[in-house]
Structure 1
Amino acid sequence: MHDVVIVGAGPAGLTAAMYCARGGKKTLVLGNTYSSQQSMGGLYENYPGFPDGIQGIELSERMLAQAQKFGAENQTEQVEKIVPLSNFFRLKTENWQYEARTVILAMGAGHRPLGVPGEKELTARGVSYCVHCDGALFRNKAVVVAGYGNGAARAVLYLANIAGKVHLLCTREKLVAESVYLERIKNLSNYTATFGAEITEIQGDDFVTAVGYKVGNTPRTVKADGVFVEMGMKPNADLAIALGLEMTPGGYVKVNRLNQETSMPGVYAAGDLTGGRLQVATAVGSGASAGISALQYLG
């Protein structure tokens, strides 16, 4: 029996683990820190304490090491079901099951798909949701970034150093991103953009060859070897929904922002799973709050 089991190994989960383990509780983190959005996010310039920025993967490794220093354990298994019992919880994975007196949910959020023909069929064959994972495959090739916000801006900047051509299909009338990104994009020589684009399909047989879209009622096509989808995030909330937790209208886990309590006693949630700004810094803060609350709950 663990005192605390944390589902998710991103910044929120690892911060909660550090607090709980440091507080003397038997703490287990279930999840692979290398698959977190933080680990795949490239260089972070806005996380405090690192004036020159820090790579997401390094930040994840440091957070995990700090939690483990205080005694937290980590298993890379994925939780498939959480069962609330009389005074504890049973968490089932594919090969094992664990028991805990309290649970902290920190499964994060995943990339929202375009939902157009060809996207699913060509995923991993030119369609990608991670520039830092797959960008190097498109050196000197033509790529499309589909999106509208900071994620799209960061993708454009990263890919411009690798690809021959980068075309942004912005689904809004302008790119809604931080000014520092917008200024850097202005200086790119291999970048073009279409604004107000409605993406209609991704074309290709074995691999991506083009992207179909409309501006107004006018259909257009842009040739591309790859498509990087940056359409925002959606919460990885299936476990929370199955557990019967109260959710927000946007599909996030509803929490008391003062202590990260969910609608079920003994269950806390933190990070991108609960909505908000979707930043590493805010995930860390909510993870700390959830960890402190779990310690108080356990007494």
Structure 2
Amino acid sequence: MEDWFDEPIVDPTVPEPDRRRITGASVLPLGSSEFSPRTRRFFAVGGVVVGVIGALLAGTAMQSGSSTSAFASVLAFAVAGLSVSFGRPRLATRLQRLYGDCYVVPAELDDEARDLIRRARQAIESVSTSRVNRLGLLDGIANDLVLPEKLWDIARLLRTQAALRAEQAEAMNEVITPELAAVLAPQREALNRSMMSVTKRILELEDYAHRVQEADAALRAHELLKSNDKYRDLLAQTDDAQGLRNLTEQVDVLESTLAKNLRDAIDAGQALVTLEDTTAV
């Protein structure tokens, strides 16, 4: 996921069409450089006025048959259309007004928050692209629902934490009086507790991803067992009874390992679902 850093993290409750628009909008972070509301109103009103003029010119052209009036009316309509389009807010701005609190742009966060979001996204990406997940072997775990909700919860908390860290840093630039220190100390403690809680959530995601990777590795090893028949035939031809026993034991061990790793991955995923339900309550 090379461009993950620029991709907004969107609240899963936002309707799917708007989620796609938000992630595809070209200008979301750090405000907008488009025209001011006053300038947009000027363009909108100007477009209407020019459109009326164009209609009058079109009427004149129809009555007189004047090609000059006809050309002028077409030009007026074109200018009117452009003016009205300039008067409309861009898509990114409209989305920002509708869903400004419903997405997080990683580029707007500080380094600490960006690093934690990167870790969370990498863990979720690892689970989502795993073979055991694609094959449905993690059945019973709502990865498609729970993991996006986890990422959104983490992202919105990190956004709040980044803003509060900036507020704390600004306050620390002032002369530290006993009164200011008395205010800042409990605020820092609350911020640190929240940061530890979010970090714990990310560690749980990473643990889940690690178990899924282990299940993937066991699945690959299990698939390689299909080649064992060729090796059994080879050992039978060479009359190697011990080698045959070793291969058979290896099959039993790998079957058991695959089953255990899948159970561990499923248990870790179900723990995430349980935590999600507990948090919701």
State whether TM-score is above 0.5. Answer: no
Structure with the larger strand share: 1
| Structure number, greater radius of gyration | 2
Q: What TM-score does the superposition give when structure 2 sets the normalisation length?
A: 0.26
